[in-house]
Structure 1
Amino acid sequence: MPLGLPDVAYKETNLIAMTKEEILKLSKKVCRNTLMETLEIEFTEIGDDYLIAKMPVTSKVHQPDGVLHGGASVALAESVGSMASYVFLDTEKFYVRGIEISANHLKSISEGFVFAKASFIHKGRTTQLFEIRITDEDQNLISIVKLTTIALPKKK
């Protein structure tokens, strides 16, 4: 057991029983009064090993030259990856923190929406590794991000 932590308990369900509306309700509740609400990040789809969110590209998330700020892309990526950990882990026993993130920005965008799909690369006993692909409405790859999260036991 690394770091003397208990094994992470992933939820047994594959979340098929959880409806899109329930996921949206959960995400809105968790995101209230946070950066995710400020950036208008909305969680839109969930699968057995991925979560998708979208974010509007407006002047609120632009660099001075009128294109999507890389920091906003990274905030979107960390939000969807961390939420994926939150949704898939037993949150009665564990909480999630991001511990490392790296991003490559490949294309710019000035308006519309970007979509971030967080997919598990590794589900470990204490850490989770995600690949997050950020695309535009035409599926053009805007950024690719790698995020590592850690599940820490809640104190009783």
Structure 2
Amino acid sequence: MKYPDDLDPELVARLVESGGGTLTRKMGIEFLELGADRSVATMPVEGNTQVIGILHGGAHVVLGESLGSISSAIHAGPGRIAMGIEVNATHTRAVSSGIVTATCTAIALSRTLATHEIVVRDEEGRRLSTVRITNILKDRPAP
């Protein structure tokens, strides 16, 4: 996985240990590149479909929210956390097989908020959905 050299070591440890979280692992999401401004991940369609055999809309959202939340946590920095406060998705094309790739790009990064757009594409590069997430950034509570 590619990530910035100055990434918070505690965040790296949590990502490596958890694989991005239980749901992320169950869905087969693989992080390829992580950063505050840009992140990339893939996910198989198989195992993440809805009843008529196409990639579930909720799977698009999980993929997008996973990338946007990690990118926001990277931006927040050491001793801080990112918590999602809004997410939405527009699905524009269906896919029934293969691997999808999501690319997360920062829209706005400030001290208290981070907003990202995540575009999910099929193996031919066609846009399947657009996810937008806003995270609030806060100091990590004392243990």
TM-score, normalised on structure 1?
A: 0.78
Unaligned runs of 5+ in 1: 1-13
Aligned with residue 63 of structure 2, among 76, 96, 119: 76
* Partner SS for 1:146: strand
How far 1:26 moved relative to its partner? 6.1
Aligned to 2:94: 108
Residue 34 of structure 2 corresponds to residue 51 of structure 1? no
- Output the amino acid matched with 1:77: G
1:74/1:88 CA distance change after superposition, 3 Å? same
Assess if the C-alpha contact under 8 Å between 2:65 and 2:133 holds in 1: yes
Q: Structure 2: how far apart are the matches of 1:25 and 1:117?
A: 23
RMSD: 2.4
TM-score, normalised on structure 2?
A: 0.85
Aligned residues: 137
Deviations 1:36-70 (A, max 9, x none): 11111111124671000110110x21110000000
How far 1:34 moved relative to its partner? 1.3
Residue 139 of structure 2 corresponds to residue 140 of structure 1? no
Residue 22 of structure 2 corresponds to residue 34 of structure 1? yes
Find the structure with the greater CA-based Rg.
1
Unaligned runs of 5+ in 2: none
- Output the amino acid matched with 1:84: S
Q: Structure 2: how far apart are the matches of 1:30 and 1:96?
A: 17
